[in-house]
Amino acid sequence: MQLNLTGRHVDITDSLRDYVNNKFAKLQRHSDHITNVHVILDVEKLSQKAEATIFVSGAELFASTEHQDMYAAIDSLIDKLDRQVIKHKEKFARH
C-alpha cells in the first residue's frame, strides 16, 4: 500500500506522519486490496480537516471529516473509511 500525505496550511510532523501510518496499517488489515491512499490534512482557522481517497480493487473510496483536534479528525476519518472498506469487501465477495 502506497500512502501519500499532503498538508495544507499545516506542517506534517514526524509524529503526525507516524500516527497516520499506524491508523492506515490497521485499516489495511480489513482488506488487502488497498493499493493507494492519498490523505490530505488541512487547517482552516479553528477547524482541522482530514480527508482521504483510497484506491481499492474495482473502486475508489472517499471520506472527509472535521474536528477541532487533528488527531481526533484522523480517528474519525479512519472510522468512516473502515466502514466503507468493510462494505466494499462484502459487496465484492458476493460477486
The answer to whether residue 94 is domain-embedded is no
The answer to whether residue 86 is domain-embedded is no
59-67 sheet: strands from edge to edge: 2-8, 34-44, 47-56, 59-67
pLDDT, residue 54, reads 93
Q: What does pTM read for this prediction?
A: 0.89
Instruction: Name 79's Cβ contacts closer than 8 Å, sequence gap at least 6.
Output: none
The answer to whether residue 45 is domain-embedded is yes
pLDDT, residue 64, reads 96
The answer to whether residue 73 is domain-embedded is yes
Cα–Cα distance, 93 to 7 (Å, whole number): 35
Question: How many distinct structural domains can be found in the chain?
Answer: 1
**What domain range includes position 34?**
2-78
pLDDT, residue 16, reads 92
Domain with residue 39: its CATH number is 3.30.160.100
Predicted confidence (pLDDT) per residue in 16-34, tens digit: 999 999 999 888 887 778 8
Q: Which residues of the chain fall below pLDDT 70?
A: 95
The answer to whether residue 62 is domain-embedded is yes
